[in-house]
Amino acid sequence: MSGKVIKVSGPLVVAEGLKDANVADVVRVGEMGLMGEILNMTGDRASIQVYEETSGLGPGARVETTGYPMSVELGPGMLESIYDGIQRPLTEIMRVSGDTIARGISVPALSRDKKWDFKPVVVKGARLEGGDIIGTVQETAPIEHRIMIPPTLSGTLEDIREGSFTVDEVVATLRAEDGTLHEIKMAQRWPVRVARPYRRKFVPSEPLMSGQRIIDTLFPLAKGGTAAVPGPFGSGKTVVQHQLAKWTDVDVVIYIGCGERGNEMTDVLNEFPELIDPYNGEPLMKRTVLIANTSDMPVAAREASIYTGITIAEYFRDMGHDVAVIADSTSRWAEALREMSGRLEEMPGEEGYPAYLASRIAQFYERAGIVECAGSDGRRGSITAIGAVSPPGGDLSEPVSQGTMRIVKVFWSLDSNLAYARHFPAINWLTSYSLYTSNLTPWYKENGFEDFLADRERTLSILQEESALNEIVRLVGRDSLGAADQLTLETAKMIREDFLQQNAFVDVDNYSSVERQAKLLRIIIELDKQGRKALEDGASMEGLFAIGVRERIGRAKYVPDDAYDEEYRAISRQAAEEIAELVAAGGENR
């Protein structure tokens, strides 16, 4: 079915003669075959958003519909790849068109030549339903790719083959109830705007470890949860996102660079193959899929990139993996939505954003969760969604931040004043929150982190008190505070500098296991407790603030992983001894 262009305005093209086309169909526009998607239909006129630059396109150009909605190709070969917003492999594009991205290039998302070793796990004659696993491919060293019956099919397995196949070759045949035969290949397609089905959803109850102290200790995220990282420019959003992409304990990471800098994606491409995953000892790249729509790439594809990413994530979830989707930045996606909405001459809502902005944001985050996957074996998989938000001027009252805050459960609020003082990660401990703490409490209790929960409460209250005390200090000076309050300030400083600060550029400090976090925090909280007691017992305040163990605690986070346990014990002993001495000396003076 083909029509003709009648209007071109940037990425928006209006074509007529398409009365049989469906809304959301993918179309090819003009001689170059630019890819686009139908947004609206009026009579036989279709408004089309084109995913590539439209310059040179004019009325009369041909528009061809494919009859299919915007889809991604799912199968072995996605890991370690970098795709653009509509799942074209960028390394392949580089081979075809050089350093820049020419228009109208069509490259398959999955390699057609590469052969994968397919090992069946079911036998001929098996009764299968959508989502059932029929075989596996070891896609990369850490990730087993499980080939599933597409969600829409079910029936009896007529044939299944073991061996080396490309994604185009048939590995099994399925006879449906109505008698039709379906060929099953390793690759399947799925429309990106439709969530892949699952059996049922659960409430997240297991923490997602990120190796970042402020996150795991104070504002933890749960597997299958949602989080947002808002912050003004230069507050370290991207570094936080990269840290999460590197160190979260999931099986697969989908990193969506949505309207951000090209160099950031280059950085990931250079760095991830070198970094070793602490959970499985393999390079991080082997579990990562990158989606890059950098800020200089066409804006319409930016809108699609988020959906491309989450659909790939759902596919890995369906295999029973834990997946993290990291989107940097959802504000750019919202701006792309706004730009198309403006060109469609829709009535704008707040700040020019379309009225459906909040519902689109909610739909995206709702595709996260921990679920029982489709299929009959009851396996579980999860998607954790983490989105960066770039509020203009750092003002959180704008629509994208507000729409996001309403839906996410964890909020890591980045603060430019912390960034100015080079306190990184610049997550503000007073304005951030996690609503998962109570859901996660049973997990911590079962896994021997009882003390840790108490220490976390204490830490938060010390930090709260510090902020109140600082108000007083600003008015009347620090000397007017009592010894106990001054100790609170000292401890708060220690928590901030020696615990919460974490240097992403120092190898030892990059990643900190939750056990190590708990032990370090224990030392600080215990020192505070003993200090309070010592003050009551007559120890001098100046002496308490000058004990040598303080500097040693300051350097504790840089102790290598294999030596920290011993060092932490030594610190605890030294702290106890030094305080005992102080109390003894104080007692004499009294």
Regarding 446 and contact with another protein (CB under 8 A), the answer is: no
| Closest CB to another protein among residues 148, 297 | 297
Could you give the 3-state DSSP secondary structure of residue 502? coil
Other residues' Cβ atoms within 10 Å of the Cβ of residue 117: 13
Regarding 192 and contact with another protein (CB under 8 A), the answer is: no
| Closest CB to another protein among residues 128, 244 | 244
Positions in 531-550 near another protein (CB under 8 A): 550
Positions in 11-30 near another protein (CB under 8 A): 14
| Closest CB to another protein among residues 145, 302 | 302
Positions in 102-141 near another protein (CB under 8 A): 102
Regarding 4 and contact with another protein (CB under 8 A), the answer is: no
Least distance in angstroms from the C-beta of 76 to another protein: 20
Site stretch for another protein (CB under 8 A), options 186-194, 393-401, 444-452, 567-575: 393-401
Question: To which residue do tokens 């004019």 refer?
Answer: 58
Number of residues that bind another protein (CB under 8 A): 80
Least distance in angstroms from the C-beta of 413 to another protein: 17
Regarding 326 and contact with another protein (CB under 8 A), the answer is: no
| Closest CB to another protein among residues 180, 266 | 266
Positions in 453-482 near another protein (CB under 8 A): 473-474, 476-479
What's the rounded Cα separation, in Å, for the pair 383 and 367? 8
Could you give the 3-state DSSP secondary structure of residue 31? coil
Positions in 396-435 near another protein (CB under 8 A): 416, 419-423
Q: Is 98 exposed, middle or buried (0-12, 13-18, 19+ CB in 10 A)?
A: exposed
What's the rounded Cα separation, in Å, for the pair 322 and 92? 28
Exactly one of 295, 376, 402, 574 binds another protein (CB under 8 A); which one? 295
| Closest CB to another protein among residues 252, 268 | 268
What's the rounded Cα separation, in Å, for the pair 458 and 456? 5
Positions in 471-530 near another protein (CB under 8 A): 473-474, 476-479, 497-498, 503, 505
Contacts of 573 (CB under 8 A, 6+ apart): none
Residues 218-247: x/- map of binding to another protein (CB under 8 A)? --------------xxx---x---------
| Closest CB to another protein among residues 299, 323 | 299
Amino acid at position 570, single letter: A
Provide the b/e sequence for 546-559 (b: ≥16 CB within 10 Å). ebebbebbeebbeb
Other residues' Cβ atoms within 10 Å of the Cβ of residue 113: 7
Identify which of 301, 356, 147, 324 has the alpha carbon closest to the alpha carbon of residue 250.
324
Contacts of 282 (CB under 8 A, 6+ apart): 140, 141, 142, 276
| Closest CB to another protein among residues 351, 450 | 351
| Closest CB to another protein among residues 404, 437 | 404
Exactly one of 330, 390, 439, 530 binds another protein (CB under 8 A); which one? 390
Positions in 144-183 near another protein (CB under 8 A): none
What's the rounded Cα separation, in Å, for the pair 185 and 337? 35
Site stretch for another protein (CB under 8 A), options 56-64, 142-150, 314-322, 511-519: 56-64
Exactly one of 294, 330, 384, 502 binds another protein (CB under 8 A); which one? 294
Classify strands 82-83 and 288-293 as parallel, antiparallel or unpaired.
parallel
Positions in 66-95 near another protein (CB under 8 A): 82, 90-91, 93-94
Check: CB of residue 2 under 8 Å from CB of residue 63. yes
Check: CB of residue 288 under 8 Å from CB of residue 272. yes
Site stretch for another protein (CB under 8 A), options 52-60, 221-229, 403-411, 516-524: 52-60
Residues 248-277: x/- map of binding to another protein (CB under 8 A)? ---------x-x-xxx-xxx-xx-------
- DSSP secondary structure letters along 199-236: EEEE---SEE--S-HIIIIIS-EETT-EEEEE--TTSS
Question: To which residue do tokens 């401890």 refer?
Answer: 491
Site stretch for another protein (CB under 8 A), options 67-75, 519-527, 551-559, 564-572: 551-559
The token pair at 59 is 């009325």
What's the rounded Cα separation, in Å, for the pair 387 and 123? 42
Identify which of 92, 97, 38, 98 has the alpha carbon closest to the alpha carbon of residue 64.
38
| Closest CB to another protein among residues 10, 108 | 10
Least distance in angstroms from the C-beta of 525 to another protein: 20
Positions in 331-370 near another protein (CB under 8 A): 332, 335, 338-339, 342, 348, 351-352
Regarding 587 and contact with another protein (CB under 8 A), the answer is: no
Alpha carbon 89 to its chain's center: 21
The token pair at 459 is 């830490």
What's the rounded Cα separation, in Å, for the pair 87 and 301? 10
Least distance in angstroms from the C-beta of 439 to another protein: 34
Classify strands 116-120 and 380-389 as parallel, antiparallel or unpaired.
unpaired
Could you give the 3-state DSSP secondary structure of residue 193? coil
Regarding 328 and contact with another protein (CB under 8 A), the answer is: no
